[in-house]
């Protein structure tokens, strides 16, 4: 029998405080250390947040409380340092793509978004971030380029984003990070989303944008104009939204994503490639 890894003082604290047992490591990222644990005989997920992860994960908790298990995992318990979550033990949607079921994965994503956006509970009075705030990095980058006399992709995308944000449609609480890796199968409840980011409020079309550049682990599939347009059509039809707005949000989103990394992180080749693919369909 393999030896159990040593239990850290922080993990032990939550095992004792929340009456949990049998911790098994699942993942470790820059934002959290993730374990499956037993709670009243049921296997659930314990996320211990890192200093980097506390802000994003805490706003994510606001969204999960709002969704209350409709299209998403249940948030069972949380504090400022940890979350206890329903465990979706199955595969994520990348497995479908790898089996050749790319379109089916996109249909499932649309269904999840429809469930999340159909939640009728009162919108939280605190903890929500307007979608315009999420685009601050893109607007800063565009202003710098304009000042330097450069009509960059960031300048062009910022104009598109400004127009979209000035005339929002179907405003909802958003997941903020829907993609194939963040939807996992539960044997009891089917496909469920997890890991919302930013607790955003804004036009629901935005929530579909990220999925069009995913799964980014298979770039030879994703960096394809025909696939991009086809899947945008699938999402728009299933969600009842305007495909031209979805493509515009996608253009603004990938340029926003690139703006986060252009000066301080890995070169955003994937995002800029996707921006180049969609730009002719947005700036006409």
Terminal CA-to-CA distance of the chain, rounded, Å? 63
Annotated catalytic residue 170 = no
Which segments of the chain are extended strands (E)?
20-28, 32-39, 42-49, 75-78, 82-86, 129-130, 171-173, 183-186, 190-193, 200-203
Structure tokens at 127: 């903890």
119 Cβ contact list (under 8 Å, min separation 6): 66, 67, 68, 70, 71, 173
CA distance readout (Å), 18 to 13, 82, 243: 8, 11, 46
Active-site annotation holder among 22, 122, 170, 177: 177
Structure tokens at 38: 């037993």
Contact 178, 109 (CB under 8 A): yes
Region of residue 10 (phi > 0: left; psi between -120 and 50: alpha; otherwise: beta): alpha
Task: Supply angle C-alpha 71, 164, 238, rounded to 5.
Answer: 35
CA distance readout (Å), 188 to 18, 26, 64, 119, 129: 24, 20, 18, 20, 32
Catalytically active residues, by annotation: 177
């Amino acid at each position: 029998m393999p030896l159990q890894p040593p239990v850290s003082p922080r993990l032990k604290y939550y095992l004792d405080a929340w009456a949990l047992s049998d911790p098994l490591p699942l993942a470790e990222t820059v934002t959290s250390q993730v374990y499956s644990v037993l709670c009243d005989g049921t296997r659930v997920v314990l996320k211990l947040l890192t200093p980097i992860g506390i802000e994003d994960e805490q706003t994510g908790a606001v969204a999960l409380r709002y969704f209350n298990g409709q299209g998403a995992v249940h948030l069972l318990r949380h504090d400022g340092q940890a979350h206890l979550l329903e465990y979706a033990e199955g595969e994520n949607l990348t497995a479908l793509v790898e089996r050749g079921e790319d379109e089916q994965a996109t249909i499932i994503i649309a269904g999840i978004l429809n469930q999340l956006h159909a939640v009728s509970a009162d919108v939280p009075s605190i903890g929500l971030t307007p979608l315009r705030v999420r685009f601050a990095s893109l607007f800063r980058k565009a202003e710098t380029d304009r000042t330097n006399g450069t009509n960059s992709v960031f300048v062009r995308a910022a104009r598109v984003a400004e127009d979209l944000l000035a005339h929002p449609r179907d405003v909802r609480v958003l997941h903020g990070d829907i993609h194939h890796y963040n939807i996992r199968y539960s044997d009891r409840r089917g496909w469920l989303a997890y890991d919302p980011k930013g607790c955003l409020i804004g036009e629901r079309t935005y929530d579909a944008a990220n999925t069009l550049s995913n799964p980014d682990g298979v770039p030879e599939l994703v960096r394809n104009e025909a696939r991009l347009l086809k899947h945008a059509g699938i999402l728009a039809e299933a969600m009842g939204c305007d495909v031209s707005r979805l493509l515009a949000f996608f253009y603004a989103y990938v340029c926003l994503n690139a703006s986060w990394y252009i000066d301080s992180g890995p070169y955003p080749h994937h995002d800029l490639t996707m921006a180049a693919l969609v730009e002719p369909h947005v700036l006409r």
